[in-house]
Structures are given as C-alpha cells and as structure tokens.
Chain A
Amino acid sequence: MTPDIQDLQRRAAKIREAVLRTISHAGAGHTGGSLSAVEIMAALYFHAMRVDPLRPDWPERDRCILSKGHSSPVWYCALAEKGFFPYEKLKEFDRLDGMLQGHPDMLKTPGVDISGGSLGQGLSVGIGMALAGRALKKDFYVFVVMGDGELQEGQVWEAAMYAGFHKIHRLIAIVDYNKIQLTGRVAEVLDPEPLADKWRSFGWEVLECDGHDPAELAGKFDQARKTAVKPVVILAHTVKGSGVTFIADRAEWHARAPNQAELKLALAELEVKE
C-alpha cells in the first residue's frame, strides 16, 4: 500500500500534541522517550499494522509490544488517535483506578497486546507470539518497539539469538535509537555500537532510517514485512524529546513532565491551539 505521507504527518502531529498534554495533565510520565517514538508509532498504526480498533482482540491482528514501556504515553495517544478509545480517556493516564497505567497493562487498556515495562522483556514475548502465529498458520506480524538503553539488558540478546537462529520472520523489532538514557548519553553509559553489526551477527536483517521521517519509516516497514526468511530490526535514528526545542536531546527530560508554562511554550512551538 502506498503510504499517505501527509496523513502520517498529520497523525504524528496530533499524537505529539496529545503526548505533551497527557503527560502534563498527569504531572508525570516519560516525555523524552515518548516524543522520540511519535513517528514510529504513527507509521505503525496508520501504515504498517493490520488492526481493528473495534476488535482489539481480533485473532488475525498484527501485534504491537512496547518493550520500552515507560514511553506508554505515546502508545496510548496512538491508540486513541486510531480509535481504540476516546481521547478523553487520556486524562486517566497515571490515575488510580484509571485504564492507563504508567507502564502498559494489557488487562486494562484495549489495544495493549502485552503488559510490560521491566526493560528487556518485550522481544521474548514477541517471539512467543510469532511462534504462536506459525503454529496456528496465521500470517500476522509482531512489532516490538525497543529503546536503545534497553539493549543493555541481557535478555534482549537471549531473544535476539533465538529469533535469528530460528529465523522467526514475522517478527519486526524497532529500536528507537534516541541516544539518551536516564542518566545520560547511551554512548557514555554503555555504548551499544556497532549496533547494526551486533544484530546482523545474531542472524537479523538490519534496516536503518530516520525515525522522524514518516516516508522512510513506512518504506522500511514495507521492506521488513516482505523479508520472509529472517527477523528484521529497524534501527530508527531519533532525537529524544523530538519536536520541542527545549526538550529535545536533553537527558533531564527522560522522565520529566512539562508544567503548565512549559506545556504552553511547547504547544506554541508546535503551532497548535491550546
């Protein structure tokens, strides 16, 4: 399917705005890592994935796993934009008895295919889903969105080794490579480079792109879906906190929420009405 780039850009803009509003309203949430994944999630839900918001449990659906679960706001906002639940529900983010937990909870949120947030666990679960697809002779794809800091977890490489060895081919991992983790630059905390070589040596097809360019993302997703012989990882180069100059590329915005004044500034920069 030819991607409608303008539509993807519009969707991404709405999701970015919603992320800022949602986190600011809750007074908590991971702003930096949510904003870096905006275009990735927009391209997933409005181009790459086969889902039906009216049937969140549709057995034939493609699965999404947000392994970097702390970026839940961008997932929730993408799900709301796709129509899994009303935008109004985003106000329940991080609220006791609300349906939107700080980290994703599949028992509470329609469209969330697996709970998680303890880093490093998503890829393994994705393998399990892909194996289930094989066994059931279904053709659904499993998309696992990971963080770059998350790659420091040993379980990721257990999973990478398994998926490469067994040629799990309807498994597509996306690394939101924003180069910053909680305490600083990934390259300084524990550098994952040469990252493409690592994945390749584990038997994966490696694609790279600008993670903020919807056209590039859509193209890579199309290419990944066509790779029928092995798992694919897309290294999506992104900027943490992308879209807002005073948030972008700053480690201190990893887990910080914009206050009222900051939200106003950010929305002004995005040129949206309050």
Chain B
Amino acid sequence: MKANEMLEMRVVFGDALVELGRVNERVVVLDADVGSSTQSIRFKKHFPERFYQVGVAEQNMMGIAAGLAASGFIPFASAFAAFAARKACDQVSISIAYPRLNVKINGGYGGVSTGKAGATHQAFEDLAIMRAIPNMTVIAPADAVETKQAVFAAAEHAGPVYLRTVRCAVPAVFEEGHEFRIGRSYTLREGKDITLISTGMMTAKVLKACGILKDEGISARVIHMPTLKPIDEAAIIRASCETGKIITVENHGVIGGLGSAAAEVLTAHAPCHLRRLGVQDSFGESGDDEAFFSKYGMNVENIVKCAEDFLSISPSERKQRD
C-alpha cells in the first residue's frame, strides 16, 4: 500500500473475510441483505456453503449467529451499523454478549459515510451502544491495512467483537508492517502542546491537521485509538500528564463514543481539559461526506481551529505565525 492511497474500506473488509475464510474453516458469514453494499458478498462467492443470507431481519441474524457460535463456529454477522446496533441491540446483548459467544459483528456503513442515505442509515450511536454492552470488544480501524488485521484479530479473539467499518474510500494511514493488536493505541506523532486522539477513518484527517498545526509551531501528539473497548487507558493518562489539553475526533456522536470513553478515563485518573469533535447530539442528514464533515465541524480545518482555540491562539497571532 502506498502512502495516502485511497481504498474502500468495505472492499477491504470483504476481501479480508475471504482470506480469513481460507485459513479458518470455522469462519462463517451472515448477511442481512446488505452484503452487496458491505461487500461481505465476496465471501459468498468463495464459500457459498458457509454464507448465510438471512434477509432483512437483523434480530434473527444475531440469534442465528449466536446458535452457530454456541456450536463451535466463528460467525461474522454483517449489517449496516445503524441496524446492527439499533435494531438488534437486545439480541446482541442477550443472545451474544451475555453468554460471551464468539460472534463478530460487522457494522458496515458506520457514521457519516452512507452514500447520502441520510439520518435513518447513519450510525452515530453504534459505538456508544456496543461499548455499553458488557463483554463486548469494540474496534474501529483507520484504513485498509488495519481493517484487514482487525478482521483476523477479531477471529482470534475469544468472545464477541463489534467491528465498525465505513463505506467510503479512506486514505492509507499505516504501512503493511503495522501490527494491530486489540486494546492497543498507536502514537503516530509525538507532541507536547496538545494531544489529538482519534478513531476509525478520522485518524487520517487528524494527521493532516497535525501537519498544519506543526507549520504553525504547534506540537500536537496524535494517538490513533482503534479499540474503543477495552480502551488504552495508559496512553490517555500519559497524554493528559504530558500535554494537558486533549481533543477527541470521531465519526460518531460525542455522546458515548471515543470522546466519552476518554472523558471516563480522564475523570478517574488524570483530569485535564477535553474537547470532543464529532456529531453533537444530533441526527444526520443527506449530503456529500466532506460537506457533512464541514457542516458538523469534523473536517481538517475544524480540528485545526479547535486546537488553536483550545490553546487560545487568536486569529491575529495565527496570522503572525503565518
């Protein structure tokens, strides 16, 4: 993979399932009639006998996945994030997480990136819902390399996993040598003035913002947090102690996601000022992804401005620096 190469995360996810299927015969895939969108359909082409088309019935799908897992299989149950989390929350919780069954749930089309479908199909609360369910591991990978590794890591992990992917093409953040591990964060830039913590596809934006800030003389640490649960507490505590101010950036609502998770760690261990970038307690709407990010204060410029404001750099100071 080349630096900044754009790849569709859903395609990478579909291909990763196929690769995983080749090495692990216990892997089966379930789809709630969105496989051609989430690309889990790729698995069907290679392993039709291990692919279960459940139809538009997410709750039934989660139950069937639980039954398969209780009999020794490793089911990947795939749906749009909005429906996996919202419609099937009780089934995920009681049939899968409570008995700690080995089901991997793919919430495809997480956050903004839903092909302009708008509020009904956008999941800005899926990470919050899944994080609140006991026994659940929650992962939101940044790019193609990490998505593939996360699929394999999820299969190896004993117990339920929620793997959140997005529809759109995302820029490469990691090179092939990246070693994804559940529960680990990745400090991608060292910095001492402020820390930017991001998850999922937002890490690429944060890296860009960090570059702009650097040109302005601001030293920003960038921590990529692909695992929201269990979260890497030590990295957050260290950032608080070493840089003070922290900004979280997520393609999700600020309630219950990465921002909340960071706040939970900070209030318990190392309080500092925290600002949370993401959707502010609102439903989404149709529109281009980037236009959406701009309107909702989640693009590169917003991240830069948030950091500047946080560090109390006035527009005139900013001009002087320029």
**How many whole Å from A268's CB to the nearest CB in chain B?**
39
Partner of B67, one of A105, A117, A126, A136: A126
Contact A124-B62, Cβ < 8 Å, known A115-B99, A132-B71, A135-B73? yes
Interface size class of A (residues with CB under 8 A): 20 to 34
Partner of A158, one of B50, B59, B71: B59
Q: Are A107 and B100 in contact (CB under 8 A)?
A: yes
Interchain residue pairs A-B with the least CB separation, the first 4: A128-B67, A124-B63, A132-B71, A158-B60
Q: Are B65 and A128 in contact (CB under 8 A)?
A: yes
Q: Are B60 and A131 in contact (CB under 8 A)?
A: no
Interface pairs (12), CB distance under 8 Å: A106-B70, A107-B100, A118-B94, A121-B63, A124-B60, A127-B60, A129-B70, A132-B68, A132-B70, A132-B71, A136-B71, A162-B55
17 more A-B residue pairs beyond the given contacts A107-B100, A125-B66, A136-B71, with a C-beta to C-beta distance below 8 A: A59-B72, A116-B95, A121-B90, A121-B95, A122-B63, A124-B64, A128-B64, A128-B69, A128-B71, A131-B52, A131-B64, A132-B68, A132-B71, A155-B59, A155-B91, A159-B60, A162-B64
When distances are taken between beta carbons in the complex, the residues of chain A under 8 Å from B50 are: 135
- A94→B28 CA distance, assembly (Å): 36
When distances are taken between beta carbons in the complex, the residues of chain B under 8 Å from A142 are: 67
Count, chain B residues at interface, CB 8 A: 31
**How many whole Å from A244's CB to the nearest CB in chain B?**
31
A130 beta carbon closer than 8 Å to chain B: yes
Q: Are B71 and A114 in contact (CB under 8 A)?
A: no
Q: Are B57 and A158 in contact (CB under 8 A)?
A: yes
Interface centre among A117, A118, A124, A135 (most CB of B within 10 A): A124
A123 beta carbon closer than 8 Å to chain B: yes
Give the nearest-CB partner of B56 in chain A: A158
- A59→B66 CA distance, assembly (Å): 16
When distances are taken between beta carbons in the complex, the residues of chain A under 8 Å from B91 are: 121, 124, 155
When distances are taken between beta carbons in the complex, the residues of chain B under 8 Å from A105 are: 98-99
Interface centre among A114, A117, A130, A136 (most CB of B within 10 A): A114
Give the nearest-CB partner of B69 in chain A: A128
B304 beta carbon closer than 8 Å to chain A: no
A133 beta carbon closer than 8 Å to chain B: yes
Q: Which residues of A contact B (CB under 8 A)?
A: 59, 105-107, 113-118, 120-133, 135-136, 142, 154-155, 158-159, 161-162
When distances are taken between beta carbons in the complex, the residues of chain B under 8 Å from A130 are: 67
**How many whole Å from B84's CB to the nearest CB in chain A?**
15
Interface residues of B in 147-175 (CB under 8 A from A): none
Give the nearest-CB partner of A113 in chain B: B70
- A136→B72 CA distance, assembly (Å): 10
**How many whole Å from A260's CB to the nearest CB in chain B?**
34
Contact A132-B99, Cβ < 8 Å, known A123-B63, A162-B55? no
When distances are taken between beta carbons in the complex, the residues of chain B under 8 Å from A113 are: 70
When distances are taken between beta carbons in the complex, the residues of chain B under 8 Å from A120 are: 59
**How many whole Å from A142's CB to the nearest CB in chain B?**
8
Interface residues of B in 108-129 (CB under 8 A from A): none
**How many whole Å from B88's CB to the nearest CB in chain A?**
9
Q: Are B95 and A125 in contact (CB under 8 A)?
A: yes
Q: Are A114 and B64 in contact (CB under 8 A)?
A: no
When distances are taken between beta carbons in the complex, the residues of chain A under 8 Å from B60 are: 124, 127, 155, 158-159, 162
- A159→B63 CA distance, assembly (Å): 9
Q: Are B64 and A125 in contact (CB under 8 A)?
A: yes
- A5→B6 CA distance, assembly (Å): 70
B255 beta carbon closer than 8 Å to chain A: no
B7 beta carbon closer than 8 Å to chain A: no
Q: Are A127 and B72 in contact (CB under 8 A)?
A: no
When distances are taken between beta carbons in the complex, the residues of chain B under 8 Å from A59 are: 72
B54 beta carbon closer than 8 Å to chain A: yes
Q: Are A125 and B70 in contact (CB under 8 A)?
A: yes
Contact A131-B59, Cβ < 8 Å, known A115-B94, A118-B94, A124-B95? no
Give the nearest-CB partner of A154 in chain B: B59
When distances are taken between beta carbons in the complex, the residues of chain B under 8 Å from A121 are: 59, 63, 90-91, 94-95
When distances are taken between beta carbons in the complex, the residues of chain B under 8 Å from A133 are: 71
Q: Are B100 and A155 in contact (CB under 8 A)?
A: no
When distances are taken between beta carbons in the complex, the residues of chain A under 8 Å from B69 are: 128
Contact A114-B57, Cβ < 8 Å, known A121-B91, A135-B73? no
Q: Are B67 and A114 in contact (CB under 8 A)?
A: yes
**How many whole Å from A51's CB to the nearest CB in chain B?**
15
When distances are taken between beta carbons in the complex, the residues of chain B under 8 Å from A118 are: 90, 93-94
When distances are taken between beta carbons in the complex, the residues of chain B under 8 Å from A128 are: 63-71, 75
